[in-house]
Chain A
Amino acid sequence: MTLAFLGPINVIDQLLRWLGLAPQTIDYVVWPLIQIAVVVPLVTLWVAYATYLERKISAFMQARLGPMRVGPWGLLQPIADGLKLLTKEDFIPEKADRWIFFFAPYIAVAAAFIVFSVVPFGPDWGVITDLNIGLLFVIAVSSVGVLALILAGWSSNSKYALLGGLRSSAQMVSYEVSMGLALIGGLMFARTLSLSGIVAAQGSDSIWFVVYQPLGFLIFLISGIAENNRAPFDLPEAESELVAGFHTEYSGFRWSLFFMAEYAAMVVVSAVATTLYLGGWYFPLVHRLDGAGWWHNAFVIVSVLVFLTKLALILYLYFWLRWTLPRFRYDQLMDIGWKWLIPASLINIVLTAVNVFLVQWIGSWEWHGIKTVESVSAGLNLTATGKIIMVLLGLAGLIITGGALSLINWRSRDFHLKSQRRNIRLVDLPQGKPAVAPVATTEG
């Protein structure tokens, strides 16, 4: 990480040098630690305020006010909640497997939070560490979260928790497949696994990959929601059936850790979706801010804000769906995972590969001097013609995939639901003899 040009931050840098630390230590140990120290509280706070937002948005949808009492518009509510949960008794059921029960929430939180280390919030110092296998890292680490759920469900020694844990393992494992496969399409354009590299590829091509990959984006979003156990896929914690699913026996702070992990995981999936499909921190014209000294910092800050805005929009989608849709049943959830999303993501890979090949091939004709590919150095850079062809092919892919999926699912029960439903009849039943047959009034 080169941070030498940051005017105000330079002071700290020089201070550290004055203390006698080697430049490598400063760049690779101290600075990341400082960044982590900034990001972790920020993310925690943000996760807390995501709950506030969710409550406000749900209130807005349900014709009520939501939290209003703690602070202006209830703005301090998340803090009050956190404090309340901290002061609660740390209760571990007698029959529970103590150590596993004890550690499961930490695994959940750690898995969700570690991913933030590679999320590119912005250019330059907006990213903590730029792993060259960033995307693989995200998928690998976030799938550790399943382990926490299974362990929590198992160690609670409660049947509801066990069912919740089993459901979540089955669900997250199946949806991880389609989620991972959906990403491959986008990677064919980016040609790198580094998250910053993916954003750079979209920046240099001046396009968001969602335009090339509408299908991949849809699959990723749906599997992401399922992966995070959010409605309509919130089966592991389906409160109406399994009471609270895997965290039935948890209370107090340990419970809030699960809660934080859930919201953090939501933020992570939204962040990956933003990075891969919505251009990350890249936004038209923002890069013109970039300049020397303070201008550069301003550019980074605006970029971070752009990133957060995009992320918040996806988060809003999460909330919106949660408060609108009923919950799927377990078998239906598996149907969607295995019969819809996984075939769709496989078709998406094939189609994207064919599309990338086709566009390059069309360019190689040099027919009337039409050029489709500009360069392939930092991702696949297409000319305007190339972009149009690619977008059209992507839309055609949607139709092809829809047709293929209909063929696969033609014989399943849920495909023809509308024709299975019956309308009710309104019948004017014949009227019987009235029950009321009073003849006399008794005297007072």
Chain B
Amino acid sequence: MHQVEIATTQESLLDNPEMILNMGPQHPSTHGVLRVVLKLDGETVIDLDCDIGYLHRGMEKIAENRQYTMIAPYWDRLDYIAAVSNGLVWVETVEQMMRLAVPPRAHYLRTILTELNRIASHLLWLATHALDIGAVTVLLWALREREEILKVFERQFGARLTCHAWRVGGMPNDAYDDFDEDVRRIVKNFPMRLDEYETVLSENRIWLSRTVGVGVISADEAIAIGLSGPALRGSGVGWDVRKARPYAAYADMDFEIPLGENGDTFDRYLVRMAEMRQSLRIVKQALDNLPDGPVSAKLPKVVKPPVGDYYHSIEGPKGEIGCYLVSDGSAQPYRVRVRPPSLINLQALRQMCIGHLVADVVAIIGTLDIVLGEIDR
């Protein structure tokens, strides 16, 4: 990553008007322990450098010393906002290496719950993004809606945030009794709430002036950097793993992908808002067509994928979460590598921020929707 030159002596500071501002790792708006070193001219950003690694826990190394079934809970702690999606990429990778046939009911439930998780994650993004730009009330409104989803998670998985949702081969248990009713209530009530948020933000002049034309990234640049998820689609690139390489039950679902045009913060905001509506559509379809049957495949006592390597990715709320797995035929993986969407999306930060003001930097960090647990691993 690009290195910002830091003036060290008093004279050099007086000679040039540039100032180095150290933002983070304890800054309220860097979404965790991200440290951004800003080089400022007045309040204009002329250069910046990200310093990451404050939350490094050595996930990939830990995985080398655990059995395949034991790794899934660690994966929940990558992107702790979207634990359900993260868990899914791990179990699906292992299942596909072992060529396990997961029962369709499990696939459908996985689809429902990961989409709910996408909504929960986007809601938290909306909350913090709005907070960064100064709209405090949206924070609590969004968390109120997220709470409904977390209640479903709590009843289904026994945990709200780091829900160890999946097992290799399916699910630990079937949907709880009122699952259908609870999820349908969310599907019914949520669009109203979304409309409410859009009234507060989408037509708000201040919101527009803070987001339109801020942090623009063109489609070509976005592809070159390797952006994925809403950050890529905001620039108008039609790429979504759910469509491109359907996993779980997405092949049976009818849904559309929202695409932006300008590639600015406002477009990414709209894309995420529209994605939440599409997620509801998927959840509703999956609920309507939920097949009966078992929720887990029969599994050997010790999971041992055949020798070889495999890459699988899913569309997480923040982008493409990939998992590259090398197996030596033993009960523990030889090497695991995560493709972290937040880390790769963060690479666009410098390009997006230069020339903008300090206030825009927090807006842009917000719009990239990063989670440090996943960046640092």
Point out residues on A near B: beta carbons under 8 Å.
Answer: 58, 61-64, 159-160, 163, 231-232, 234-235, 238-243, 322-332, 413-414, 417-418, 420-444
In the complex, chain B residues 218-273 whose Cβ is within 8 Å of any chain A Cβ = 238-240, 243-248, 251, 256-262, 266-267, 270-271
Q: Which one of B204, B208, B251 lies within 8 Å of A325 (CB-CB)?
A: B204
Q: B137, B267, B278, B360: which contacts A61 (Cβ < 8 A)? A: B137
Q: B257 contacts A429, CB within 8 Å?
A: yes
7 contacts between A and B (CB under 8 A): A62-B140, A159-B19, A323-B137, A325-B134, A426-B259, A432-B243, A444-B298
A440 / chain B contacts, CB cutoff of 8 Å? 99, 101
The answer to whether A421 and B259 touch (CB under 8 A), given A231-B134, A432-B245, is no
Minimum C-beta distance from A164 to chain B (A): 11
Q: Quick check: is B55 within 8 A (CB to CB) of the other chain?
A: no
Measured between beta carbons, the chain A residues less than 8 angstroms from B28 are 239-240, 243
Q: Are the C-beta atoms of A417 and B209 separated by less than 8 Å?
A: yes
- Interface positions of B from 262 to 289, Cβ below 8 Å from A: 262, 266-267, 270-271, 274, 278
> What is the CA–CA distance of A231 and B204 in the complex, to the nearest angstrom?
15
A425 pairs with B259, CB closer than 8 A: yes
What CA separation (Å) do A207 and B21 show in the bound complex?
53
Q: Tell me whether B100 and A442 are in contact (CB under 8 A).
A: yes
Give the number of A-B contacts (CB < 8 Å).
188
Q: Is the pair A436, B98 in contact by a Cβ cutoff of 8 Å?
A: no
Query: Of all chain B residues, which has the CB nearest A159?
Result: B21
* Chain B hits for A438, CB < 8 A: 95-96, 99-102
A residues within 8 A CB of B246? 431-432, 434-436
Q: Which of A322, A327, A423, A443 contacts B133 (CB 8 A)?
A: A327
Q: Indicate whether B357 reaches chain A with its CB closer than 8 angstroms.
A: yes
> B359, A441: Cβ atoms under 8 Å?
no
Contacting residues, chain B, for A240 (C-beta < 8 A): 28-29, 131-134, 362
> Which residues of B178-214 have CB atoms within 8 Å of chain A's CB atoms?
200-201, 204-210, 212-213
The answer to the question of B377 belonging to the interface, with a C-beta cut-off of 8 Å to chain A, is: no
B318 at the interface (CB under 8 A from A): no
Q: A241-B362, A326-B206, A429-B238 are in contact. Are A434 and B257 (CB under 8 A)?
A: no
* A424 and B274 contacting across the interface, CB-CB below 8 Å: yes
User: Across the interface, which residues of B come within 8 angstroms of A241, CB to CB?
Assistant: 29, 358-359, 361-362
Contact of A63 among B141, B251, B260 (CB under 8 A): B141
Shortest Cβ distance from A361 into chain B, in angstroms? 40
Whether B244 contacts A326 by the Cβ 8 Å rule is no
A sample of 14 more A-B contacts (CB under 8 A), given A163-B21, A329-B209, A431-B251, is A58-B136, A240-B134, A325-B135, A325-B206, A328-B210, A329-B210, A331-B357, A420-B213, A427-B238, A429-B239, A431-B243, A433-B245, A437-B96, A439-B99
* Cβ–Cβ contact B212 & A421, under 8 A: yes
User: Which 4 pairs across A and B sit closest by C-beta, in order of nearness?
Assistant: A327-B134, A62-B140, A438-B101, A422-B261
Q: For residue A64, which residues in chain B have a CB less than 8 angstroms away from its CB?
A: 140
B58 at the A interface (CB under 8 A): no
B27 at the interface (CB under 8 A from A): yes
- Contact assessment for B248 and A328 in the assembled complex, using a CB-CB cutoff below 8 Å: no
Q: How many residues of B contact A (CB 8 A)?
A: 74
Our pick among B19, B140, B239, B270 for the contact of A423 (Cβ within 8 Å) is: B270
Question: Which residues of chain B (61-112) have a CB below 8 Å from chain A?
Answer: 92, 95-96, 98-102, 107
Q: Is B49 an interface residue (CB 8 A)?
A: no
Give CA–CA (A323, B206) in the complex, Å.
13
Residue in A239, A418, A421, A434 whose CB lies within 8 Å of B245? A434
B359 touches A329 (CB 8 A): yes
Contact of B244 among A330, A429, A441 (CB under 8 A): A429
Is B368 among interface residues, defined by CB-CB distance under 8 A? Answer: no
Chain A: which residue is nearest B254 at the CB level? Answer: A428
Q: Does B14 contact A (CB under 8 A)?
A: no
| Complex contact A432–B258 (CB within 8 A) | no
Q: Name the distance in Å between A415's Cβ and chain B's nearest Cβ.
A: 10
- A329 and B207 contacting across the interface, CB-CB below 8 Å: no
- Could you tell me the distance in whole angstroms from the C-beta of B368 to the nearest C-beta in chain A? 15
Q: Are B267 and A424 in contact (CB under 8 A)?
A: yes
B135 to chain A: closest residue by CB: A326
Q: Are A436 and B96 in contact (CB under 8 A)?
A: yes
Contact assessment for B266 and A421 in the assembled complex, using a CB-CB cutoff below 8 Å: yes
Shortest Cβ gap from B176 to chain A (Å): 25
CA A372 – CA B49 in complex, angstroms?
A: 69
The interface residues of chain A lying within 8 Å CB-to-CB of B144 are 63
Out of A329, A426, A435, name the residue touching B360 (CB < 8 Å). A329
Instruction: Tell me the bound Cα distance from A432 to B244 in angstroms.
Output: 4
A444 engages B299 (CB within 8 Å): yes
Are B100's CB and A328's CB within 8 A? no
A276 nearest CB across to chain B (Å): 27
B309 at the interface (CB under 8 A from A): no
**Residue of B95, B133, B240, B262 contacting most chain A CB atoms (<10 Å):** B133
B residues less than 8 Å from A163 (CB atoms): 21, 43, 358
Q: Measured between C-beta atoms, what is the minimum distance from A17 to chain B in Å?
A: 56
A436 pairs with B247, CB closer than 8 A: yes
Rounded to whole Å, the gap between the CB of B364 and the closest CB of chain A is 12
Kindly list chain A residues whose C-beta atoms are within 8 Å of the C-beta of B99.
437-440, 442
Which residues of chain B are within 8 angstroms of A234 by Cβ–Cβ distance? 134
Give CA–CA (A433, B244) in the complex, Å: 7
Please indicate the chain A residues that have their CB under 8 angstroms from the CB of B204 in the complex: 325-326
What residues of chain B lie closer than 8 Å to A425, measured between beta carbons? Answer: 258-259, 261
Closest to A62 in B: B140
Q: Are A413 and B244 in contact (CB under 8 A)?
A: no
B118 at the interface (CB under 8 A from A): no
Task: Looking at the assembled complex, report how far the CB atom of A176 sits from the nearest CB atom of chain B, in whole angstroms.
Answer: 21
A238 touches B359 (CB 8 A): yes
Q: Judging by beta carbons under 8 Å apart, are B258 and A424 in contact?
A: yes
Chain A neighbourhood of B208, CB < 8 A: 417-418, 420-421
Q: For the complex, what is the distance from the CA of A325 to the CA of B274, rounded to whole Å?
A: 22
